[in-house]
Structure 1
Amino acid sequence: MRRQGGCGTAEGEPSGEEHSVKASGPTALNYVLPGMGLALALLLKVWPDLAPGAEGVVPGFAAILAIALLCGSAVSSVAHADVVARRLGQPYGVLLLTMSVTIIEVSVMASMMLHGENNPTLARESVFSVLMIVNTGIVGLCLLLGSLRHREQTIQQQGVSGYLSVMIALGVMLLVLPAETHEGETGTFSPRQLIFMSFVAVSLYGAFLYMQTVRYREHFENQPEGHSEAPPTPSAFALGLVMLLVSLAAVVALSKHVAAAFEDFLGNFALADPDAVTGALIALLILLPEGIAAVRAASRNHLQHSLNIALGSALATVALTIPAMAFISVMIGHSMVLGLDTEDRTMLLVTFVLSILSFGTGRTNALNGVVHLIVFCVYVMLLFMP
């Protein structure tokens, strides 16, 4: 693809600051922590007396270590996914990152659903928290920090509109509509409605992926400014793929023990809505690596790439997590409440309207980021004072 350089720059050669630099790559800890996580999960499986919930100091230490290794394995999975993504190119790299995070989220949520008493609103609260944290917190930080450093930033408006249109449609149909239907109980779909809406969610996401990767791929491509990272070698790509699978296996294996530790810890507090706080903690845990990657990309003036990571994660969550949790809930016979409460419904609709306005011109500034972050602060307040 032809690039326009400055005066005297040959076609196809990098101009100005646009040149390839060596990528930093995963650190040594990114290779060690997933192995430690798998070892701890195996130890907890063969030695139940160490599992969370058991009496004594050692089980408590094991729970803290499991949480730390799960976080480390989650960060490692994204680091290794980034190596694989740079070899695959965009937008397939971003898709790999979002799918990895979605697998982690479903694993943690399924483990928490299977632990202790039935949590019928856990899936709803987790997905709602992801939408709020991404569209207000992470996006707000990206817009604010990017604009403070580069004044105004440009985006591919058609691509961002694609993310928002699918996200808004699925968010309203899966989180608002269940509170308005007549066939199911309040806030729930009937089994037939749940199956149909799960099919709609997966089909709509599949259509979006086709548009993103084939039909309108150029709408989601970044407009690079500054340094571009060199693709990894074939051996580095193979190692990154293997370590990505190991990291995901560690997260899945530790998720059951972390879920038990979270629920036991929150049970010590008199929370007005413990499921909402639990869902927010899950979302923060899962979104931390992608949030860091998105903010770093925005600070480098790669706002489109930043939004691809952030909005892609939120879209994959609402489109894939709810159908996956619906399948699990039907298989184990646990009910699942999807309809949001009044205050959450209001916050979600405000967030969607704000996102449309912020990206409607194709250019963003610091004020957009400030407004998103203010809405995020209100969301956090309502977690503890609903």
Structure 2
Amino acid sequence: MKTGTGQPALLSQWTTWAPVVAVISLAAGWGRELPGFAVAILAVCLFAAVLAAVHHAEVVAVRVGEPFGSIVLAVAVTVIEVGLIVMLMIGGGDKAATYARDTVFAAVMITCNGIVGISLLVATLRNRIAVFNAEGSGGAVATGTALATLTLVLPTFTTGQPGAQFTGTQLAFAAVASLLLYGLFIGVQTVRHRDYFLPVRPDGSPCGPDEHAEPPTPAEAWWSLGLLLVALVGVVGNAKLISPSIERGVANAGLPSASVGVVIAMMVLLPETLAAVRAARNGRTQTSLNLAYGSAMASIGLTIPVIALATIWLPGPLILGEGPTNMVLLALTAVVSALTVVPGRATLLQGGVHLVLFAAFVFLSFSP
């Protein structure tokens, strides 16, 4: 990654124009019935925007340092993801009641098993042992587990409302508790114990700045932050535009409707996945874990409060409680994640276990 080249050079780079083209294609296709070739063009624009988002996120990360760089990408993706959920719920339909639950659970499984698993795999294939900070990663796993249980498991067992949903008071409590827990974690991560979330060397000493990247100027960092947001709008918006084609393909194949959410969540989380893999390849496993667990917590800690507020004017019920299969997967993920991060070191085995859990989630989503 080259930085420090100045704004004129930035204007000639494809990473500058890819987000703009993605948003233009989004505006051109919005609200229209798209033929097959248009869907293919949107898919190309989507993946170009993903690659551009990863580049600009890295520029911002180099400028602000860890763990702030990971937070920027995680929160940016989640804010736009929340907007997409609300927009889908406003559209109504029989599936609207479970949109928030399905999206949040898919994000948790993708980040905590998919991104963590592939990051550990890449790190251990190159260095045999992946080293990270147990205190920071352990705190992230504990917070994420508490958030997921509070919002996705408890509604199945409460009795105030029929079905797997909270009463209004219970939903308000869960929303406030989620926001407070996420805010507390961010405070610990960025202020009180920031050193717990910095990449470490095999001997346990903190890594210095990435020697392969020249620090960008403040103007370049702000430029990249703006283009990052534009790219993420293009990613999520184009994912929504091509989702009807995915839904038709799923329906024609006789697959369950919940599998659509899995496909969309994978596309939306592509920027974080690529950024995490690149960090792991460079021996900065802690950055990969910051991205993965930070995204999982942001998906819950930001989505649930916003959806709870949106239920004031959104029609229909809000079903948050998971069924037995997903609760088992969530419990298994929590246990395995805790065992992975406690030693502060991981091997190829831990990466493989997480990837198998991720594969089980994807398989059971398509074949429940």
1:141 partner letter:
I
Structure 2 residue 88 is the aligned partner of structure 1 residue 103: no
Q: Which residue is 1:267 aligned to?
A: 251
Conserved 8 A contact 2:74-2:298: yes
2:257 partner letter:
P
Q: Which residue is 2:182 aligned to?
A: 205
Conserved 8 A contact 2:89-2:314: no
User: Deviation per CA, 1:156-177, whole angstroms, max 9, x where unpaired?
Assistant: 1110011011100011111110
1:77 partner letter:
A
What is the Cα deviation at residue 41 of structure 1?
A: 3.0
Structure 2 residue 262 is the aligned partner of structure 1 residue 286: no
Conserved 8 A contact 2:134-2:341: yes
Once residues 269 and 111 of structure 1 are traced to their aligned partners in structure 2, the CA distance between those partners, rounded to angstroms, is 26
Q: Which residue is 1:314 aligned to?
A: 296
What is the Cα deviation at residue 230 of structure 1?
A: 2.1
Q: Which residue is 1:339 aligned to?
A: 321
What is the Cα deviation at residue 217 of structure 1?
A: 0.9
Once residues 237 and 359 of structure 2 are traced to their aligned partners in structure 1, the CA distance between those partners, rounded to angstroms, is 33
Question: Alignment partner for residue 93 of structure 1, among 43, 48, 69?
Answer: 69
Q: Which residue is 1:12 aligned to?
A: none
Once residues 229 and 340 of structure 2 are traced to their aligned partners in structure 1, the CA distance between those partners, rounded to angstroms, is 37
User: Deviation per CA, 1:93-126, whole angstroms, max 9, x where unpaired?
Assistant: 1111111111232233233333462421121111
User: Deviation per CA, 1:340-377, whole angstroms, max 9, x where unpaired?
Assistant: 11011001100100011111111111111111122222
Question: Alignment partner for residue 374 of structure 1, among 345, 353, 356?
Answer: 356
| Unaligned stretches of 5+ residues in structure 2 | 201-206
Cα distance change on mapping 1:254 and 1:111 into 2, 3 Å: farther
Q: Which residue is 2:204 aligned to?
A: none
What is the Cα deviation at residue 259 of structure 1?
A: 4.0
Structure 2 residue 107 is the aligned partner of structure 1 residue 130: yes
Structure 2 residue 246 is the aligned partner of structure 1 residue 246: no
Cα distance change on mapping 1:377 and 1:24 into 2, 3 Å: farther
Structure 2 residue 250 is the aligned partner of structure 1 residue 257: no
| Structure 2 counterparts to residues 135-146 of structure 1, below 5 A | 135-146=112-123
- SS of 2:254's equivalent in the other structure is coil
Conserved 8 A contact 1:164-1:356: yes
2:224 partner letter:
G
The farther-off stretch of 155-164 and 140-149 is 140-149
Once residues 365 and 228 of structure 1 are traced to their aligned partners in structure 2, the CA distance between those partners, rounded to angstroms, is 25
Once residues 92 and 110 of structure 1 are traced to their aligned partners in structure 2, the CA distance between those partners, rounded to angstroms, is 27
Q: Which residue is 1:5 aligned to?
A: none
Q: Which residue is 2:56 aligned to?
A: 80
Aligned length: 355
Question: Alignment partner for residue 148 of structure 1, among 97, 120, 125?
Answer: 125
Structure 2 residue 206 is the aligned partner of structure 1 residue 230: no
Structure 2 residue 367 is the aligned partner of structure 1 residue 385: yes
2:289 partner letter:
L
Cα distance change on mapping 1:124 and 1:191 into 2, 3 Å: same
User: Deviation per CA, 1:227-268, whole angstroms, max 9, x where unpaired?
Assistant: 352210233223213323432443465455344444344333
Cα distance change on mapping 1:76 and 1:109 into 2, 3 Å: farther
Once residues 248 and 151 of structure 1 are traced to their aligned partners in structure 2, the CA distance between those partners, rounded to angstroms, is 34
- Identical pairs, percent: 35
Q: Which residue is 2:203 aligned to?
A: none
Question: Alignment partner for residue 165 of structure 1, among 125, 138, 142?
Answer: 142
Conserved 8 A contact 2:54-2:274: no
- SS of 1:229's equivalent in the other structure is coil
Cα distance change on mapping 1:327 and 1:144 into 2, 3 Å: same
Q: Which residue is 2:16 aligned to?
A: 31
**TM-score of the aligned structures, taking structure 2 as reference length:** 0.88
Once residues 118 and 37 of structure 1 are traced to their aligned partners in structure 2, the CA distance between those partners, rounded to angstroms, is 30
What is the Cα deviation at residue 285 of structure 1?
A: 0.7
**TM-score of the aligned structures, taking structure 1 as reference length:** 0.84
Structure of greater Rg: 1
